[in-house]
Structure 1
Amino acid sequence: MNTVPLTSASDVFAWMDRALARNIKPGLERMEWALERLDHPQRRLKYIHVAGTNGKGSTAAMIDAVLREAGYPTGMFISPYVTSWRERIRFDGEPIPEESFVRWANELRPLVGEMAESGPGAPTPFEFWTLLAILYFAHEACPWFVVWETGLGGRLDSTNVVWPLVSVITTVGMEHREWLGDTVSEIAREKAGIIKAGVPVICGETSEEALSVIAETAKNKQCDLYVRDRDFAVESVSSDLDGHRFHFRNVYRRLEDLRIPLAGAHQLSNAAVAAMTLEILRQRYATVIDPEHFQEGLAKTDWPGRLEKVSNRPMILLDGAHNPDGMNALAETVRQYGDGKRIFVVAVMKDKDVRDMLRPIADLADLFVATQVGGESRSLPAEELAAELRGLSPDTETVVEPVAENAVRLARGRATEQDLITVAGSLFLVAEVRPMLVRTEEA
């Protein structure tokens, strides 16, 4: 076995490419095997476990922001990232230091070798990240709370090895059918797999098909279930592309004049779920969160790449919408804004149901720029994406530019100051073009 220590993040990533499994492998046996040999470090921490088809990242970011505003050291584990790999694991809003990442990778390295040679098999990259986050939080950062986002589904997701204070399910939609099921009910059952006996559940999903499954699971496990628009709700005061002002009410009290700097009607639902989760922490676990902590924390929520406005003239929005529900939410917002042409710069992954995903924006665009994500083998080639777009909207001009940054430049060149450019279809696309756009806007 190679005993030369890894000394940089680059070393770790190169080793990960060699040592970790390449395919998605749902199941908890590898995580449970590893955690037993690590003496169960996950048991040292208090989790808020967040699952959902859409909205879980935004909801997690709001919960994190309010807890930190209230003075609680807070860790957050998310997937995927937008601006840097270090964002996956955060403590008090700061990404994991590279030296900490390297330290805990070296700690896990011999265990990974043992798993591959004589254990249940090499872990997947996401399992490795999950194990590293647990070690970092349990033994180094030591947060009071950890906001813990699932990666895929819930029941068999590698994050589902913790016993949380609160289980949160934001929404249920049709995504990852090859892993989660072909119906909303089947997917809801996978999401509901994070529900633990006696642990309160916050649910932002209101459709009867999904909610009935979640409610049945909560009842069987003797959990109190709090459902949006039944046990808690928001009342919109004002909305624009800079965010929302709203009031929040729940079974315990009412909070006035809250604000989030996140655009899109769906973010109001996410804010309601986040606020109710925080209320449960107050009521059940003696967590001190005053009204001003809600106000200040929510107003400071930072979640790039989700209907993020990065330019005003022309207006440019970045949105990581990558499934039909996400695209529907994006389309609803785009319809409300822009006095000129609507230009979409789009890239999608091969494993998506491309037509279903793009259908919500098919009739909105005056121009499509089809592109792809550089260095990402799962990205659908720009020419194939263009063919799909032309099939959906034959009367809309569609041009091809395989290099994502050049696609954005092309869109800007075709836009006037009154037009709206939307970059969407994948968080990988947003991550690739955002640095260029932010630099340009700041210059």
Structure 2
Amino acid sequence: MFTNYHEAIEWIHSRLAFGVKPGLERMKWLMNRLGNPEQSIKAVHVAGTNGKGSTIAFTRSVLQEAGYSVGTFTSPFILTFNERISVNGAPIEDEEWLSLVNEIKPFVDELDQTELGAATEFEIITACAFAYFAHVHQVDFVLLETGLGGRLDSTNIAVPILTAITSIGHDHMAILGDTLEQIAAEKAGIIKEGIPMITAVHQPEALAVIQNTAKEKNAECISLHDTCSFDEQQPTETGERFTLRTSKRQYPQLETGLIGTHQRQNASLAVLLIEWLEQEGYISVTEEQIYEGIRQAVWAGRFEKVKDHPPVYLDGAHNEEGIDRLIETVQAHFFSKKVHICFSALKDKPYKKMIQKLEAVSSSIHFVSFDFPRAESAEKLYVCSHLDAKSYDDDPRTVLEFIQKKSDDPSAVILVTGSLYFISDIRNRMIG
């Protein structure tokens, strides 16, 4: 038994040594030992390459505005480890984590000795989340984010009332496949027999895979882009404004509290999830609560403004599609500014292509590394760039120096982007 929080979390992190092991057998074994907590929560299960966290943030915000208690399970964390498991946006307490780990550790030790093998870090964290929401702090709804893929992700033992797929893009291809169809098939693995699915996927080949899977599972499949339309889209200083038309309602001048052209899609998907929950009698919500919930939503590290002079934004665009959305946002919000970028990435990401795309909107780029096993060196990132105004240093503290040097330029905007782990590092240095 662990006596304090830090021992418990160190033990969880020690399980990183067992890597990523897709599959559900170990999770089923653990859930059985814990009394199958995953069966007693009201879950909305969300998969997708990008947009999962933001969609969950919008959905949670609206549900809270309507008076419901909402648990969320998300990853990775940006501020603190504890935020992976949150209630109404507040991370669970250190003592609660300690109690969860002490509850689950004997079962993990037992599992280690079976032919199923050792549980991974993510499997243990997922098991803790199910146990928490079922046994410790019961909530009206749990918004459950997949960690990797869907079909074989640890969260896929859930028995949800509704599933959602936000987007399909090229990420984790070594595990999920090289084509959009293969990746879509893995994400579509969260679709359950007879459980409705709502998706914002727009590529025809990927959407077809999702629709076919839903048909095989007798699950209604609602496509955002087939059933909704967007008009009067324009950026605001703090987010996006647009008019959304769904099959049920029109929402003129809907405003998001999150910056990014892609947040219109994420907010709209959240509205569809809310409409479905209302239609099926799970919730009662007013139009005013939907507007206010979308406007009040916050999500750290997603085009988040963390400094005013000079303006500094953090955005965890960690794959090609994420970079594409970032560039769209820069062009919409900062077309008259000089954009200076600080970038870092993991070794297994297509960072050469990401850098080439960023150069199209960059006045300068500063490359750094950070303390993480899979972080690429700053020099290797630097040599991929063809921009004249470029620099590098492995020390992430140089990002703060880079920002300070731009403080006298009224036309400067600083964008810190790349790996979410990097974003977390810099955010903690700037805000604490």
TM-score, scaled relative to structure 2? 0.96
Structure 2 residue identity aligned to 1:408: L
What secondary structure does 2:136 align onto? helix
What is the aligned length?
Answer: 430
Conserved? CA contact 2:352–2:381, under 8 Å: no
Instruction: State how far apart, in whole Å, the 2-side matches of 1:14 and 1:150 are.
Output: 23
Deviations 1:321-363 (A, max 9, x none): 0000000111111123053422110000011112122232122
Structure 2 residue identity aligned to 1:426: S
Conserved? CA contact 1:69–1:293, under 8 Å: yes
Instruction: State how far apart, in whole Å, the 2-side matches of 1:119 and 1:110 are.
Output: 17
Match of 2:375 in 1: 379
Instruction: State how far apart, in whole Å, the 2-side matches of 1:298 and 1:249 are.
Output: 15
Match of 1:145 in 2: 141
**Aligned pair partner of 1:58 in 49, 54, 59:** 54
Shift of 1:307: 0.8
What secondary structure does 1:212 align onto? helix
Is residue 2:275 matched to residue 1:279? yes
Conserved? CA contact 1:324–1:356, under 8 Å: yes
Instruction: State how far apart, in whole Å, the 2-side matches of 1:20 and 1:379 are.
Output: 15
Shift of 1:27: 0.6
Match of 2:427 in 1: 434
Shift of 1:20: 6.0
**Aligned pair partner of 2:415 in 422, 433, 437:** 422
Instruction: State how far apart, in whole Å, the 2-side matches of 1:311 and 1:240 are.
Output: 17
Match of 1:162 in 2: 158
Conserved? CA contact 1:324–1:358, under 8 Å: no
Conserved? CA contact 1:321–1:426, under 8 Å: yes
Bigger CA drift: 303-312 or 344-353?
303-312
What secondary structure does 1:87 align onto? helix
Match of 1:353 in 2: 350
Pair 102,233 (structure 1): closer, same or farther in 2 beyond 3 Å: farther
Instruction: State how far apart, in whole Å, the 1-side matches of 2:337 and 2:90 are.
Output: 39
Match of 1:397 in 2: 389
Shift of 1:311: 2.5
Pair 428,177 (structure 1): closer, same or farther in 2 beyond 3 Å: same
Is residue 2:27 matched to residue 1:31? yes
Is residue 2:40 matched to residue 1:48? no
Match of 1:300 in 2: 296
Match of 1:203 in 2: 199
Match of 2:112 in 1: 116
Conserved? CA contact 1:48–1:147, under 8 Å: yes
What secondary structure does 2:307 align onto? strand
**Aligned pair partner of 2:75 in 75, 79, 90:** 79
Shift of 1:7: 2.3
Conserved? CA contact 1:16–1:125, under 8 Å: yes
Conserved? CA contact 1:345–1:408, under 8 Å: no
Structure 1 residue identity aligned to 2:389: E
**Aligned pair partner of 1:176 in 157, 172, 176:** 172
Is residue 2:95 matched to residue 1:68? no
What secondary structure does 1:251 align onto? coil
- Between the aligned residues of both structures, percent identity stands at 37
Shift of 1:241: 4.2
Shift of 1:293: 1.3
Is residue 2:81 matched to residue 1:89? no
What secondary structure does 1:349 align onto? coil
Instruction: State how far apart, in whole Å, the 1-side matches of 2:16 and 2:428 are.
Output: 29
Shift of 1:73: 1.0
What secondary structure does 1:404 align onto? coil
Match of 2:367 in 1: 370
Is residue 2:2 matched to residue 1:6? yes
Instruction: State how far apart, in whole Å, the 1-side matches of 2:208 and 2:134 are.
Output: 36
Structure 2 residue identity aligned to 1:413: K
Alignment of 1:279-358 (within 5 A): 279-336=275-332, 337=334, 339-358=336-355
Match of 2:220 in 1: 224
Instruction: State how far apart, in whole Å, the 1-side matches of 2:15 and 2:223 are.
Output: 43
Gaps of 5+ in 1: none
What secondary structure does 1:171 align onto? coil
Deviations 1:196-224 (A, max 9, x none): 11111111011101111011111111111
Match of 1:259 in 2: 255
Conserved? CA contact 2:46–2:165, under 8 Å: yes
Match of 1:410 in 2: 402
What secondary structure does 1:317 align onto? strand
Instruction: State how far apart, in whole Å, the 1-side matches of 2:236 and 2:394 are.
Output: 32
Bigger CA drift: 236-245 or 424-433?
236-245
Instruction: State how far apart, in whole Å, the 1-side matches of 2:13 and 2:140 are.
Output: 33
What secondary structure does 1:159 align onto? helix
Bigger CA drift: 178-187 or 281-290?
281-290
Instruction: State how far apart, in whole Å, the 2-side matches of 1:236 and 1:85 are.
Output: 39
Conserved? CA contact 2:59–2:274, under 8 Å: yes
Instruction: State how far apart, in whole Å, the 2-side matches of 1:276 and 1:340 are.
Output: 35
Structure 1 residue identity aligned to 2:98: V
Instruction: State how far apart, in whole Å, the 1-side matches of 2:337 and 2:240 are.
Output: 24
What secondary structure does 2:348 align onto? coil
Conserved? CA contact 1:405–1:432, under 8 Å: no
Bigger CA drift: 231-240 or 301-310?
231-240
RMSD over aligned Cα atoms: 1.6
What secondary structure does 1:344 align onto? strand
Gaps of 5+ in 2: none
